[in-house]
Copies of this chain bind each other. A is one copy, B any other.
């Protein structure tokens, strides 16, 4: 049976015999995809956004869901809600499994292709386990909403197990290892010690929660690569003061359900390894059969286009775009946002018969939080800021940048409440997620 083409784009123009409006397909509801769709809102084109999730997630705060700081709904927004009222917008729920560049078709897991005139691939990044033995199976990634809910459930479950069997504490039931000393690792480590010291201490009065350990493992010789040395040193100092054990120059060799083996011989007994060590381009990049570069990113020209297919753009974490000095851009939200906008604007220019302009990244600086009252900010000028003021700036900026008034209000209320009460809200174990055996720490998944 011939499946009919997508309604919104297909039916009308063909029937009326008019030239159909060009169709832009955007793959991915991340920062790049969202900004691209927004930038096309007044363009005389049809925009179709495709994602396997029906929502956008605000990645920078995902770790707060994983550490019981925020409920998932506060950092997510349905795609259709974001673009309510954008007349040229439609959404398709599905997993993209490949692209037929010659036929100009996006291939979906349901087997039914979607055609495009222009394509923006912005499917983001996945966790990179670098082939470490046991890492994919036994560690906890923190890239998607279910990851975060799963981690949250697991962490609470470990405290319940320790409360019932205190003998398990010396076997690592309350040891939480994190690999990767970048923003995600640092923020998660800081949030965990706070959760334990401030909240679980009251939740588990019969348990000596100070026996819980948070171990942050970093391969390099300092945390927060890319920041200035004094900010990196400050981060380490604050984390240590708050009880995080920081292991620099340490790499993970092997992961089992009950332990992490470091190169050099150290063994950390733990039921919980959070994998924040690296990302790679979404595996969709491997299915395109085009040239890839470091981290499996897709090679593009200075306009973010595939060299052989100028109607196809790759933006955000999936894109291997280089700056004029030949360096790949960092895989951060700001780059994704600016690339998404640039791809959309280039499409509009092309339709108007104008030549494309090269993508230029405008560095707006970067920031990360270490926990309550402590954060680091690095301005594009190279100047740094740390401590309470940096933390306040971090909090305000993240509330402002969230998508949607309701989410902003929700996060603001949750944070304000937590700040003054030292309490946190959403510490639910949702048991339909993979469960962990109480005694062995073995995950029931697979």
Q: Give residues in A with beta carbon < 8 Å to B.
A: 3-4, 6-8, 52-55, 71-73, 76, 78, 80-81, 84-85, 87, 90-94, 110, 145-146, 149-150, 156-157, 160, 163-167, 202-206, 406, 409-410, 413, 417, 423, 425-433, 438-439
Q: Which residues of B contact A428 (CB under 8 A)?
A: 53-55, 72-73, 76, 78, 145
Residues of B within 8 A of A84 (CB): 202-203
B93 touches A429 (CB 8 A): yes
CB–CB A160/B432 < 8 A: no
* Alpha-carbon distance A3/B4, docked complex (angstroms): 64
Min Cβ gap A125→B in Å is 18
- Tell whether, in the assembled complex, residue A203 and residue B73 are in contact, meaning their CB atoms are under 8 Å apart: no
Given pairs A73-B73, A92-B163, 12 additional interface contacts (CB within 8 A): A7-B163, A7-B166, A8-B206, A54-B156, A55-B428, A72-B428, A91-B160, A93-B429, A110-B438, A145-B430, A146-B432, A413-B413
| Chain B residue at smallest Cβ distance from A89 | B205
Task: Check A417 against B406 for contact (C-beta < 8 Å).
Answer: yes
State A73–B52 Cα separation when bound (angstroms).
Answer: 24
Point out which of A149, A205, A439 has the most chain B C-beta atoms below 10 A from its C-beta. A205
The reply to whether A429 and B110 form a contact with Cβ atoms under 8 Å apart is no
Q: A167-B4, A426-B73, A430-B145 are in contact. Are A203 and B81 (CB under 8 A)?
A: yes
In the bound assembly, the distance between CA atoms of A429 and B373 in angstroms comes to 34
Interchain nearest-CB distance for A251 vs B (Å): 31
Sampled A-B contacts (5; CB under 8 Å) = A7-B206, A72-B430, A78-B428, A85-B202, A90-B163
Assess the A206–B431 pair: CB atoms within 8 A: no
Chain B residues with Cβ below 8 Å from A426 are 73
Tell whether, in the assembled complex, residue A54 and residue B146 are in contact, meaning their CB atoms are under 8 Å apart.
no
CB A52 to nearest CB in B, in angstroms, measures 7
Specify which of B87, B93, B167, B439 is in contact with A160 (CB 8 Å cutoff): B93
Contact in complex: A92, B53 (CB < 8 Å): no
Q: Which of B145, B202, B203, B430 contacts A146 (CB 8 A)?
A: B430
A360, chain B: closest CB distance, angstroms: 36
Query: Which of B8, B53, B150 makes the CB contact (< 8 A) with A429?
Result: B53
CB-based contact B429/A164 at 8 Å: no
Which B residues are CB-close (under 8 A) to A7?
Answer: 163-164, 166, 206
User: In the assembled complex, how far is the CB of residue A403 from the closest CB belonging to chain B, in whole angstroms?
Assistant: 12
Residues of B within 8 A of A72 (CB): 71, 428, 430
Check A206–B54 contact: CB distance below 8 A.
no
| Complex Cα spacing A5 to B430, Å | 27
A193 to chain B, nearest CB (A): 19
Contact between A55 and B6 (Cβ–Cβ < 8 Å)?
Answer: no
Contact status B76-A73, CB under 8 Å = no
Q: Are A55 and B425 in contact (CB under 8 A)?
A: no
A87 to B206, CA, bound (A): 10
Residues of B with C-beta under 8 A to A203:
78, 80-81, 84
Nearest residue in B to A428 (C-beta to C-beta)? B55
Nearest-neighbor residue (CB-CB) of A146 within chain B? B432
The closest CB in chain B to the CB of A160 belongs to B93
Give the residues in chain B near A110, CB-CB below 8 Å.
Answer: 438-439
How far does the alpha carbon of A145 sit from the alpha carbon of B425 in the complex, in Å? 16
Q: Which residues of B contact A157 (CB under 8 A)?
A: 93
Q: Give the distance to chain B from A9, nearest Cβ to Cβ, in Å.
A: 10
Please measure, in the bound complex, the distance between the C-alpha atom of A411 and the C-alpha atom of B210, giving whole angstroms. Answer: 35
- Rounded to whole Å, the gap between the CB of A223 and the closest CB of chain B is 32
